[in-house]
Amino acid sequence: MRIRAKLTLALLAPALAGVLISGWLGYRAARASLTERVALQLTSVRQEKRYELESYFQGVVERALNASEAALFAGAMREFRDAVRELDGPRPPEDLREKVERYYRERYLPRLSRLMTPRSKPEEYLPEGRAPYVLQSRFIVDNPHPQGEKQELADPKDGSGYSRVHARYHPLYRRMLQRFGYDDLYLIDHETGRIVYSVKKEPDFGTSLRVGPYRNTKLAGAFEQCRDATDPEAAYVVDFEPYEPSLGAPAGFVCSAIIEEGRCTGVLAFRLPAREINRILSGDRAWERDGLGRSGESRVVGPDYLMRSDARKFIEDRDGYLDALRGRNYPEESLEKIRSYGTTVLQQEIRLPSTEAALRGEEGALFTEGPYGNSTLVAYAPLRIPGLQWAIETQMEESEVFAPVEELEARMLGLTLLVCIATAGAAFLISRSMVKPVEKLSAGALKIAAGDTAERIVVRTNDEIAMLASAFNLMADAIEYQNRQIRAKNKENEALLLNILPGPIADRLKGGENVIADNFADVTVLFADIVGFTTLSDGMSPKVMLDLLNGLFRRFDAIAQAHGVEKIKTIGDAYMAVAGLPKQYPDHVSRMADIALELMAETKRHGARLGLDLSLRIGLNTGPVVAGVIGATKFIYDLWGDTVNVASRMESHGLPDAIQVTREVFEKLDGDYEFAYRGPIDVKGKGLLETWLLVGRKTPQGVSSTAA
């Protein structure tokens, strides 16, 4: 093969393989990561809705228990029960019976038969005894308000004892119903099972849950549980069922016994609405705000695999939702019930693997075919509500889950195409350049040898490049040796530069900055001076004096470095340092205070080792400064500003063995450090300045260290 073909294949094949392999691995990793993230998100939403639903039903039970224990309900139960018993008898008058039965034949049963299959015998819906006929005649049949608004009648003005009791309690219970959002409220006679009062006045009003037409309802079963319960504090939640008195609309109940003088006198029941469940699950129709996107929703399913909540698509677009179900051959009878009742509760079946697992008490997340035929990611779990076996599921369609991955896939395909084109072009250009005349390649290799010493040519063939390889490699080796020598010298120079300047400043200087000057809004400056050093050094030899200062200032440098403080300079026996630049610290004042205390102590220790009585005078101040590099041949990093001048005056006007600080330092450290107020001193150019002497850091036992 020619060199051009070899180079083209050598460059193009690995590039394409690398792009394809990395793209495929990245796609799989992104898909797995996104699946995990969305599953965790759906699980989080599911847990939140689960907690809200369980809390809601707990509140319903507690409210029912509290209400049943109230004297208001106990008294009302007694009065309604006695009033109903006054109306009771073996048979109602014929005219009254005919009026009520005509209502059932002409108004109630025709509406019921349009929504659900009625019983085989119409008379099975009629109540037993005289009282139900009287009550239904006055509050339902003769009620001037239309169906669904019968609760608006408080007093039929018939002069009966029941009507007087009803007129007194009904407005209160109606307001209570509106306040708590329940669908109905029932008072049930403990002995007869008769519903002696209800707010809505539906056909179950006045009937007996023991022998009447609705004795086989779940409400009747809950009544018997309350009636026979040994625990008077018990309350029972009843699952939703198609409730005939409400024309088959879904109805759930919570019941508790009414206790008076230690015995059960009746049962209080609230009819629960499905709308509160929908509100919790939809977040007040804010699915996207809850993190469910455009297709996500939460739902509750009962042990019969029927929904106990409304589907999101039904809430958002009823007609479109029904058309979608119709397209999946959903029974037309069920579609008509969904339309008539305005809900999917007890009408739509959800029988998915996730639903079955949740009803078995399991929880988790999986991909499955959704109720609308689309693949969905479902997070499922059981609901822990006493008396109910419900499952909660939160789902999102797979297309929305992986929308970001599909977008990534499209981008990767485009990128792969671009890489192929670019790599093919580059390979063609490189291969063409490699077969130029040997003389031109040799001249180019000599130019490279003059600069790029890391470049080497490994030759395994006998083609044209072999003529230049030996010369190129020999030159590169020679230059590499020289460069190593230069790098070693550069390291020495850099170490020397770091001894003169702070690291960040040295980096900027090497980076080409000619003028380095910075403003720092808040730093702390320290000046320290050995007291009486001139007198002390008069009798010393130069070597002894140098050893004294060098040993002491080396310890000072170590202390400053340990606290992250920058030494600026030493002038004779004076030492200057700053905290808060070039690296800024929020606690620069306390750092400098700690250093000042350590410098005092180290000076005493160093003097003791030399047999000398050494002492320091230290001044501290905090505030803004200007810092920069001055000099062209001998650099120095120095500070300027009023803060520096005042710090110097604090030292020069200070006391031996004392750390004198300004008000700014005192106010920032007060509470953590012990100070002694020195008073105002006259500072040249500043006038009188209040000063304090730093004594030491406070501890629970007192002062941990002192300046003396």
Examine the pLDDT at 369 and tell me if it is beyond 70. Answer: yes
Residue with tokens 């239904």: 136
Mean pLDDT of the region 35-43: 81
Residue range 294-342, pLDDT digits in tens: 888 999 999 999 999 999 899 999 999 898 888 888 888 888 888 988 9
Q: Domain 503-703, what architecture?
A: 2-Layer Sandwich (3.30)
At 708 the pLDDT is 44
For residues 430-437, average pLDDT: 59
* Cβ 478 vs Cβ 558: under 8 Å: no
Per-residue b or e along 214-253, where b marks 16 or more CB atoms closer than 10 Å to that residue's CB: bbebbbbbbbbbbbebeebeebbbbbbbbbbbbbbbbbbb
Q: How far apart are CA 172 and CA 338, in angstroms?
A: 33
Comparing 44 with 2, the larger pLDDT belongs to 44
**Average pLDDT of 58-86?**
88
pLDDT at position 408 is: 63
At the topology level of CATH, where does 70-272 sit? Beta-Lactamase (3.30.450)
- Range of lowest pLDDT (74-83, 473-482, 661-670): 473-482
Complete DSSP assignment for 470-534: HHHHHHHHHHHHHHHHHHHHHHHHHHHHHHHS-HHHHHHHHTT-S--EEEEEEEEEEEEEETTHH
Gyration radius of the chain's alpha carbons: 46
Using pLDDT thresholds of 50, 70 and 90, give the confidence band for residue 438.
very low
Angle between helices 503-510 and 466-500 (to 10 degrees): 140
Task: Compute CA distances 634 → 17, 497, 503, 708, whole Å.
Answer: 57, 10, 17, 38
Rounded CA separation 30/412 (Å): 12
pLDDT in tens, 507-544: 766 666 666 778 898 999 999 999 888 777 777 788 88
Residue 448 CA to residue 446 CA, distance in Å, equals: 5
Give the pLDDT mean for 224-235: 81
Give yes or no for a cis peptide into 582 (omega within 30° of 0). Answer: yes
CB of 213 closer than 8 Å to CB of 125: yes
Residue 506 CA to residue 502 CA, distance in Å, equals 6
Q: pLDDT (tens digit, 9 = 90+) per residue, 594-613?
A: 999 999 999 999 988 888 88
Percent of the chain topping pLDDT 70: 81
Read off the pLDDT of residues 205-218 as tens digits, 9 standing for 90 and up.
999 999 999 999 99
Q: Provide the mean pLDDT of the chain.
A: 84
Q: Where are the domains of the chain?
A: 70-272, 503-703
* Predicted pLDDT of residue 446: 61
Give the pLDDT score at 570.
86
pLDDT at 51: 94
Q: State pLDDT tens for residues 175-203.
A: 998 888 899 999 999 999 999 999 999 99
CA proximity to 576, closest of 534, 524, 625, 522: 524
Q: CB burial class (10 A; 0-12, 13-18, 19+) of residue 193?
A: buried
- At what angle are helices 318-327 and 332-341 packed, to 10 degrees? 170
For the stretch 263-275, pLDDT in tens is 888 999 999 988 8
Cβ atoms within 10 Å, residue 42:
25
**Tell me: the pLDDT tens digits for 115-171?**
888 888 888 999 988 999 999 999 999 999 998 899 999 999 988 999 999 999 999
Predicted TM-score (pTM) of this structure: 0.56
Question: How is residue 700 annotated by DSSP?
Answer: T
For the residues 63-67, what does the mean pLDDT come to? 84
Instruction: Count the neighbouring beta carbons within 10 Å of the beta carbon of residue 308.
Output: 27
At 440, the pLDDT band (50, 70, 90 cuts) reads very low
165 within 8 A of 197, measured Cβ to Cβ: no
* Better pLDDT: 538 or 456: 538
* Residue 77: predicted pLDDT: 92
Confidence of residue 245 (pLDDT cuts 50, 70, 90): very high
**What number of other Cβ atoms are within 10 A of residue 194's Cβ?**
30
What residue has token string 């505030």?
623
